[in-house]
Structure formats: C-alpha cells, structure tokens
Structure 1
Amino acid sequence: MKVKVQSFDAKAKAVDVELSDEIFGLDPRADILHRVVTWQLEKRRGTARGTRERSDVARSGKKYGRQKGGGTARHGDRRAPVFIGGGKAHGARVRDFNPSLNKKIRALGLKMALSSHAKAGSLIVLDSLTVKDSKAKTLKGDLAKLGFGKTALVIDGDAVETSFAQAAGNLSQINVLPAIGANVYDILKHDTLVLTRAAVEKLEARFNG
C-alpha cells in the first residue's frame, strides 16, 4: 500500500512511502478490537485496599459477657463491627481487574486499528514533526493545511520531537505518543492518525521482529 508523505513545509518534494499490507491492509474485525479495548481498560482499573472483616481480626472468640442480666446487648465476641477494633462490615475487597489476553490477539488488534484508519483515509504520514519556534499557533496553522480531523493522535519514533511536543501541549485536540506507546484504544479514539516515517519503521519492525 502506497501513501503520500506529507510535510509542514509546502516546498518539500512529494514522495510516497510503502506500507506493509500485513499491518495496514487488514480488514478490521469489531470483535477483535472490542476484546483488546476491553482488556486495555480493565488493566487501567485500580482496586481498593482490602479491609479486615470479622474473620480477619485477631481477637478472642470467647463470649465476653453473660447472655442475660448484664444490662447490655448480647454479643458472642469482640470481633463484631459495632466494637472499636472489630471487623469491618461489608468492607472493601481486593478485586482482580487484570484479565489475560493472548499476545497474538493483542498484536492483531493493533494491526487492525492501524488498518481501520488506512482504509478510512484518515491516516496521514509526515516526514517530520519539526515546528518553527515551537509555537502552538504555528502548529495549528500547519494542521489546518493538512486537513486534520477534530482530534488527532500523532505517533513519532523513539521519542516525540521536542518542538512538536511543546507546540501541541496547549492544543487539546492533539495527543502525542512515541511508537512504543501505540495502542488500540488511543488509535480508535481519535479521528485522525498521524505517523511519522520513523513511527512507520518502528511499528513495522515491532511486528516483523
């Protein structure tokens, strides 16, 4: 699959880049994408710290008072939740929000997420992310010329280009990630996917390696 490489520089020479059909040319499947997104969101969830309930409290189980005639309520032991130091009634419990998902399914989901933008025509490949003076106003004008959607995810190589990261910091509709951080949820959440040539090389090496 050939894609035209675009640039912020209007005078730059137009070239094409060849994208691997095994990564950018797949037919997206909703069931695979759903499984991967669900797995991602479940892994993000945090669990509460477990509280000690009645059976966890280290106290004597001996009946501390007589059944009748004591003038107080009848209790079997001091572990009851009504006592200071007793077990918590219906307390928070540690829950496991980390379901397993096969690595092959996770890799296939990422390929399909990339392919979904390529098939929809919302994939843009840039030669470089350098922004003059690291200005948000300059970047906003450059993005308008390239026809970005309402929201865009920009993925660079090993690290996001500094001037672009600084300029995009004040633009709420632009999110940036290094190639190693590419994931299905963020890719699908944005209207436009922007890859640098370095990002394309890293992603293809990631799947072919």
Structure 2
Amino acid sequence: MKVDVITLGADKSGDAQLKDEIFGIAEPRKDLLHRYVVWQLAKRQQGTHKTKERGEVAGSTKKIVRQKGSGGARHGNKKAPQFRGGGKAHGPRVRSHAIDLPKKVRKLALRHALSAKQGAGELIVIDEAKLDTPKTSALAGKLKSHGLKNALIMDGTFDENFSKAARNIEGVNILPVAGANVYDILKHEKLVLTKAAVEGLEERLA
C-alpha cells in the first residue's frame, strides 16, 4: 500500500510503500492484542510485594493460655494472624508475575497493532525526525501543525536534538524501533513513523 510521506513542517515529501502483511491486515484481532498487552504488563510488574507471615514476625512462642479450661479458644502463641502484631495469613510473597507468550504470537500481535493504526487513519509517516537545535518550542510548533497532542514517534536512531526537544512535551513520547511494542502503540492516539522506522519494522517483522 502507498502512503504519503510528509516533513515535520507538514509539507509533502513524497510517498512510501508499506507492506500489506504488516500494515494492511483488514481485521486486526483483538484477542492477540489483548494477550500481548497482558503479557507485557505482567512482565513489567516488579513482584517485590511482601508481608511477614506467622513464622517471620517477632514474638514469644510461649503458650498464652492452658489448653483446656480457660473457656476460650486454644492458642499456641500470639504470632497467629488473629492477634494484633501477628503474622499475615496467606500474604503476598516475592515472585515473578511474568507469563509465557511465543515469539511468533508477539510478532503477529505487533503486525495487527500497526495495521489497526493504519486502518483507523492514525498512522503518519514522516521523512525524518531531526532538528537543528534542541528547542522544545520549535518541535511543539511543528507537531501542532500536524494536530498531534498525544503521539508516539518512532525512528531507527533518534537525533540528539530531537530527543532533547521531545522529552518535555506532554503527551508525546519517542521510541526506537528496537523497543516497538503493542502497549505503547495502542495507548497513543497517533503513531508517527519515520521512513527509517518503517524499514526497521518491516525488517523486524518480515
């Protein structure tokens, strides 16, 4: 499929040919996108939450009352969960939340995410992401000419001036092709790809 290529100043710079098997899937599968996002967010979790259980809290192990005849329940020591200062019953433990997702499924989900953006008219291809000076105001003005308020900009390798200028613009994030993922693509309203990013994605997902 052929799409227009524009400059940061919103002038037409030519056209680019996008591969249909990556950007032209007619009906993106929501189940694949959902599986990828669940996998990505689960992998991101630190899993460092922890509470002290009965065997970890400080306290005496002396039997607090005799076994029979007290008229109350039978208790061994005050580290039981029902007592103040006792251990937590069945509390969270340090663990990994990561789940498995085959590499083929991840690549397929990324294709469907890119196709979803293209199908919804939310994909913009620019010639390059470069600036002469690292001025945030200059880049903000150029993005405003495209009507971009919430966008993910992807390139092969980012220009240092562009990276510095983009870091302070609210709602705009940059990402190299090597870090392309479904979650970041879907959560932004617009996806902006440079020609280098298009080539990098097609090579990665071929």
Aligned-residue offset at 1:60: 11
Aligned-residue offset at 1:92: 2.9
Aligned counterparts of 1:38 and 1:74: Cα–Cα separation in 2 = 45
> Pairwise mapping of residues 170-209 of structure 1 onto structure 2 (< 5 A)?
170-208=168-206
Paired amino acid for 2:16:
V
Paired amino acid for 2:119:
K
> Pairwise mapping of residues 11-90 of structure 1 onto structure 2 (< 5 A)?
14-27=13-26, 28-51=28-51, 53-54=53-54, 67=67, 75-76=75-76, 80=80, 88-90=88-90
Paired amino acid for 1:17:
A
Instruction: Give the match for residue 102 of structure 2.
Output: 102
Instruction: Give the match for residue 163 of structure 2.
Output: 165
Aligned-residue offset at 1:94: 3.3
In 2 relative to 1, CA 76–176 (structure 1 residues): closer, same or farther, beyond 3 Å? Answer: same
Paired amino acid for 1:94:
V
**SS of structure 1 residue aligned to 2:161:** helix
In 2 relative to 1, CA 83–198 (structure 1 residues): closer, same or farther, beyond 3 Å? Answer: same
Instruction: Give the match for residue 151 of structure 1.
Output: 150
Structure 2 gap ranges (5+): none
Paired amino acid for 2:13:
A
Structure 1 gap ranges (5+): none
Q: Is the 8 A contact 2:37 2:183 kept in 1?
A: yes
**SS of structure 2 residue aligned to 1:3:** strand
Aligned counterparts of 1:192 and 1:36: Cα–Cα separation in 2 = 20
TM score, norm. by length of structure 2: 0.81
Deviations 1:183-208 (A, max 9, x none): 10110111110111111111111112
Paired amino acid for 2:44:
R
Deviations 1:119-145 (A, max 9, x none): 122211111111232211111221222
Aligned length: 203
Q: Is the 8 A contact 1:53 1:87 kept in 2?
A: yes
Aligned counterparts of 1:150 and 1:92: Cα–Cα separation in 2 = 40
Paired amino acid for 1:143:
L
**SS of structure 1 residue aligned to 2:4:** strand
Aligned counterparts of 2:56 and 2:205: Cα–Cα separation in 1 = 48
Q: Is the 8 A contact 1:61 1:78 kept in 2?
A: yes
Q: Is the 8 A contact 2:13 2:127 kept in 1?
A: no
Aligned counterparts of 1:49 and 1:142: Cα–Cα separation in 2 = 44
Aligned counterparts of 1:63 and 1:141: Cα–Cα separation in 2 = 74
**SS of structure 2 residue aligned to 1:15:** strand
Aligned counterparts of 2:84 and 2:173: Cα–Cα separation in 1 = 52
In 2 relative to 1, CA 144–77 (structure 1 residues): closer, same or farther, beyond 3 Å? Answer: closer
Instruction: Give the match for residue 134 of structure 1.
Output: 134
Deviations 1:155-180 (A, max 9, x none): 010x3221111111221121000111
Percentage of pairs with the same residue:
51
In 2 relative to 1, CA 50–20 (structure 1 residues): closer, same or farther, beyond 3 Å? Answer: same
Aligned-residue offset at 1:54: 3.3
Deviations 1:17-51 (A, max 9, x none): 11111111113111111111122122222223545
In 2 relative to 1, CA 56–19 (structure 1 residues): closer, same or farther, beyond 3 Å? Answer: same
In 2 relative to 1, CA 62–133 (structure 1 residues): closer, same or farther, beyond 3 Å? Answer: closer
